[in-house]
Amino acid sequence: RLSLDGPWERGITAIGQSSDDATSRHGNRAGCERQLKTRVDSERHSISTCKLPNIEISAYDGKDFAQFKPFIDLFNAVIDSNQSLSNVQKLFYLRKYLTADALSVIINLPLVNESYPEAIKLLEKRFDNETRLISNHINVLLDLPQMQKGTAANIRSFISDARQQLYALKNLKQPVETWDMLLISILSRKLDSYTNRAYHLDRSSLDKLPTLEEFLSFLEKRAVALEDSSPLQNTCYEGKSAKLNNNHKVTNIVTKSNSKRNCPFCSNDHPIYSCPKFKMASSSQRVKFAADNKLCTTCLRNHTDKCKYSFKCQVCQNSHNTLLHEDEPKEAEKVISLHSNISTNQTNILLPTMKVKLIDKSGQEIEVKALLDCGSQVSIVKRSLVNKLDLTPVAQDSNIIGLGNTPNKVSECANILLQSNLYNVKFSVKCHVVETITTNLPQNYFDVRKCKLPRNVQLADDDYNKPSEIVLLLGVDFYSKVIIDGVLKLENGLVLQNTLFGHVVTGAMKNECLNLSNVNLVSNFVIQENMNDGLENIMKNFWLSEKMPEESNNQNLEFEQAEQCFKRCNKSMYANRISYWLDVKGPSYTLDVACASSMACIDHAYRSIQSGLCEAAIVGGCNLCMHPYISLNFKRAGFLCTDGKTKCFDKRGDGYVRSDAISVLFLQKAKDAKR
């Protein structure tokens, strides 16, 4: 054994210690590297396992070839690249996200691992058609919609659509960069005239060919300019100023109010004098509403200064709006509740109804009740009856205007074949199809024995006293075909009109004919109306309410005076003008009486000749049907004959017939006339 003492032993010991330290440092470095690698792997794992929203893959139906590439790329990223899924699972998911034509391409492949690659090949062969994709994108560029107005929104939408198609063509490796002049010519035609003119004026050099990028850049600048220069509407912007020395913040608020006037009665966007709900309200309700809301009685607006309008009521000529006119007596009828009782002065209105036979597709006859309405320009049928007849409606868009000028859109019509129960006649009527027509008619049941109808009259509707469903409304086109001679006016207020289907019963029945003891009248609403208003007043107020207010001017007073003078003198002017034209000497005047003006003039002329005031006279009369109110008032007063035939100098005469006519008579003594 070798033993070392002294310096040799100390040196060997030092070398051993140095070797151990180096080994220790090497081990520590390796440990640090392992820790760092472990930390990096941990970070990567935490990033890869981060919870992200689920990616939804939209189903592909194969109708749009341009959508196949985005679909298959997303499917490959989500499903195909997932190594944990087998091919059969991928094929299952592929089938799940395919529909219609796309699914039919691979539907017959068996659900096995080997079918998945084949399914991808079949889909790419069918839908990954590069030629067709390029053609589709070019067609979209050619078929871009024409820009009607060069607004900022329209320009931005146009730029977006054009750029999308250009980027798609670039992705398909098409030389879009060399198509500048071709694309500019195509796209500039889609612009409105103002934008197209502005583009050509904006070009800096006419010698240099423009580029597509310059064209699109101009459109973007114009859109920005239009957005920046457009006025603010219905918005509120808040801006904060810089901090002041005292650290106080100042907020500036800029607002712009809406200048549109909403109706104070129904809150819709129209003036109150055009409001259909305000027109349908009673006159007392309109007056009360105007007073409660402090509306001007002339223009029906809210203002504090003097009203600039000066028109008068068209009914009473007083200084207020026609809609605020109240008829005498001012006390309207009380609210009539159909549930509790019926007012003693209420009448039952009968509308003309008839039973008709309808022929369905198979030739079978169906009897229904129809309403004969001479005030309707079209005929209407319920959809339930069309279905029952097994008819096929024809598409036809039209508007049916009702009360208050309210349009009802109707999209279908059908031809109905009708047959009379009395005569062997048939009619084909074109009817518009609606869901409902009206309520059951008549509204109340009554006893027919108290109506005292003639026994020899054949009725078109023998159940005219029983409330029944109305499934067919026949308009004036049908009314004119079935009306025949024969009108009977009964003492109880009813009128019988003869038709090819029998006599129809219409008119207002008095209360003694009603029998409401066996009927339960139940209603969830109340009816409020002025029973003193006749048909002519309702029509008159409805038409006059449509009149727009006219602007006032300084000459209104002079115009009114001239108008009054003309009204007082016009009749005398007519007679004098005729005398001047005929060169007739002697007095001339116009006689205006309630009726029989011509007969009164003949009597005046006869007396003048008899008394020696003149030797001869010319008597002329005319009748003009210029206003519907006159005919309505005459009919209400009983001046017009019921059968449409004038019986002059006959004790059976019950009125006359109004028509446009003129007559002239020359009067002279008999001895002078014979000479």
Three-state SS for 326?
coil
- Residue 520 to residue 339: CA distance in whole angstroms: 8
Q: Count of CB atoms within 10 A of residue 656's CB? A: 17
Predicted confidence (pLDDT) at residue 469 exceeds the cutoff of 80: yes
Given a contact cutoff of 8 angstroms between Cβ atoms, the answer to whether 574 and 671 are in contact is: no
Nearest to 47 by CA among 36, 56, 39, 55: 39
Given a contact cutoff of 8 angstroms between Cβ atoms, the answer to whether 617 and 582 are in contact is: no
Q: Which of 239-243, 423-427, 509-513, 545-549 has the highest mean pLDDT?
A: 423-427
Q: Quick one: pLDDT at residue 626?
A: 66
pLDDT tens track for 576-629: 777 777 777 777 777 776 567 778 888 888 888 888 888 888 888 877 776 676
What mean pLDDT is predicted for residues 348-368?
A: 84
Q: Is residue 148 part of a domain?
A: yes
Q: Which residues fall within 8 angstroms of residue 370, CB to CB, at 6 or more apart?
A: 353, 354, 355, 356, 470, 471, 472, 473, 474
Backbone region of residue 561 per phi and psi (left: phi > 0; alpha: psi in -120 to 50; beta: other values): alpha
Q: Please provide the average confidence, as pLDDT, over all residues in the chain.
A: 72
Q: Quick one: pLDDT at residue 595?
A: 63
Q: Quick one: pLDDT at residue 644?
A: 75
Q: Quick one: pLDDT at residue 544?
A: 56
User: What are 612's two structure tokens?
Assistant: 């020696």
Residues 119 and 138 reside in one and the same domain: no
> Which band of pLDDT confidence, cut at 50, 70 and 90, is reported for residue 28?
low
Residues 499 and 372 reside in one and the same domain: yes
Q: Is residue 80 part of a domain?
A: yes
The count of C-alpha atoms lying within 13 angstroms of the C-alpha of 475, restricted to the half-sphere facing its C-beta, is: 14
Given a contact cutoff of 8 angstroms between Cβ atoms, the answer to whether 397 and 412 are in contact is: no
Q: Which residues fall within 8 angstroms of residue 68, CB to CB, at 6 or more apart?
A: 60, 62, 123, 127, 128
> Which band of pLDDT confidence, cut at 50, 70 and 90, is reported for residue 265?
confident
To 10 degrees, what angle do helices 130-142 and 152-171 make?
160
What mean pLDDT is predicted for residues 178-198?
A: 82
Q: Quick one: pLDDT at residue 47?
A: 47
Predicted confidence (pLDDT) at residue 257 exceeds the cutoff of 60: no
Q: Count of CB atoms within 10 A of residue 9's CB? A: 11
Lowest mean pLDDT among 254-258, 392-396, 569-573: 254-258
Predicted confidence (pLDDT) at residue 475 exceeds the cutoff of 70: yes
Among residues 229, 244, 277, which one ends one of the domains?
Answer: 229
- Residue 87 to residue 404: CA distance in whole angstroms: 69
Q: Find the DSSP H helices in 583-660.
A: 597-610, 628-637
Phi/psi at 371 (nearest 5 deg)?
-105, 125
More confident residue, 380 or 89: 380
CATH of the domain at 478: 2.40.70.10
More confident residue, 618 or 51: 618
Q: Quick one: pLDDT at residue 331?
A: 38
- Residue 658 to residue 550: CA distance in whole angstroms: 34
More confident residue, 472 or 363: 472
What mean pLDDT is predicted for residues 444-459?
A: 77
Residues 475 and 584 reside in one and the same domain: no
Predicted confidence (pLDDT) at residue 485 exceeds the cutoff of 60: yes
What mean pLDDT is predicted for residues 393-411?
A: 76
pLDDT tens track for 637-649: 777 887 777 777 7
Given a contact cutoff of 8 angstroms between Cβ atoms, the answer to whether 255 and 264 are in contact is: no
Predicted confidence (pLDDT) at residue 341 exceeds the cutoff of 70: no
- Of all residues in the chain, the percent with pLDDT exceeding 70 is 72
What mean pLDDT is predicted for residues 190-212?
A: 79
Q: Is residue 378 part of a domain?
A: yes
Residues 369 and 502 reside in one and the same domain: yes
- Residue 22 to residue 276: CA distance in whole angstroms: 104
Q: Is residue 244 part of a domain?
A: no
pLDDT tens track for 403-447: 666 677 788 888 888 888 888 888 888 898 988 888 888 877 777
Q: Count of CB atoms within 10 A of residue 82's CB? A: 12
Q: For the chain, what is the largest distance between any 2 Cα atoms, rounded to a whole number of angstroms?
A: 196
Three-state SS for 73?
helix
Among residues 76, 102, 128, which one ends one of the domains?
Answer: 128
pLDDT tens track for 175-185: 878 888 888 88
Q: By residue range, what is the domain housing residue 141?
A: 133-229
Residues 189 and 89 reside in one and the same domain: no
Residue 327 DSSP symbol: P
Residues 372 and 503 reside in one and the same domain: yes
Could you tell me whether strands 426-434 and 379-382 are parallel, antiparallel, or unpaired per DSSP bridges? Answer: parallel
pLDDT tens track for 502-534: 888 888 776 545 444 333 333 333 233 333 445
pLDDT tens track for 279-338: 877 788 888 888 888 888 888 888 777 787 777 787 787 888 888 887 654 333 333 333
What mean pLDDT is predicted for residues 152-163?
A: 84
- Residue 494 to residue 508: CA distance in whole angstroms: 6
Nearest to 298 by CA among 285, 288, 289, 308: 308
Predicted confidence (pLDDT) at residue 9 exceeds the cutoff of 80: no
Nearest to 282 by CA among 549, 544, 527, 629: 527
> Which band of pLDDT confidence, cut at 50, 70 and 90, is reported for residue 347?
low
Predicted confidence (pLDDT) at residue 380 exceeds the cutoff of 60: yes
Backbone region of residue 407 per phi and psi (left: phi > 0; alpha: psi in -120 to 50; beta: other values): beta
- Residue 464 to residue 119: CA distance in whole angstroms: 73
More confident residue, 190 or 64: 190
What mean pLDDT is predicted for residues 358-374?
A: 85
Q: Is residue 608 part of a domain?
A: yes
- Residue 52 to residue 84: CA distance in whole angstroms: 19
Q: Is residue 279 part of a domain?
A: no
Q: Which residues of 407-422 are buried (b: 16+ CB within 10 A; e: fewer)?
A: eeebebbbebbbbbbe
Residues 373 and 502 reside in one and the same domain: yes
Q: Is residue 295 part of a domain?
A: no
Three-state SS for 572?
helix
CATH of the domain at 605: 3.40.47.10
What mean pLDDT is predicted for residues 215-222?
A: 83
Q: Is residue 260 part of a domain?
A: no
> Which band of pLDDT confidence, cut at 50, 70 and 90, is reported for residue 538?
low
Residues 103 and 123 reside in one and the same domain: yes
- Number of domain units in the chain: 5
Q: Quick one: pLDDT at residue 547?
A: 52
Q: Find the DSSP H helices in 115-230.
A: 115-127, 130-142, 152-171, 180-188, 193-202, 212-229
Predicted confidence (pLDDT) at residue 8 exceeds the cutoff of 80: no
Q: Quick one: pLDDT at residue 658?
A: 77
Q: Quick one: pLDDT at residue 221?
A: 84
Phi/psi at 637 (nearest 5 deg)?
-80, -10
CB neighbour class for 307 (10 Å; exposed up to 12, middle 13-18, buried from 19): middle
Predicted confidence (pLDDT) at residue 187 exceeds the cutoff of 80: yes
Residues 359 and 461 reside in one and the same domain: yes
CB neighbour class for 388 (10 Å; exposed up to 12, middle 13-18, buried from 19): middle
Residues 41 and 189 reside in one and the same domain: no
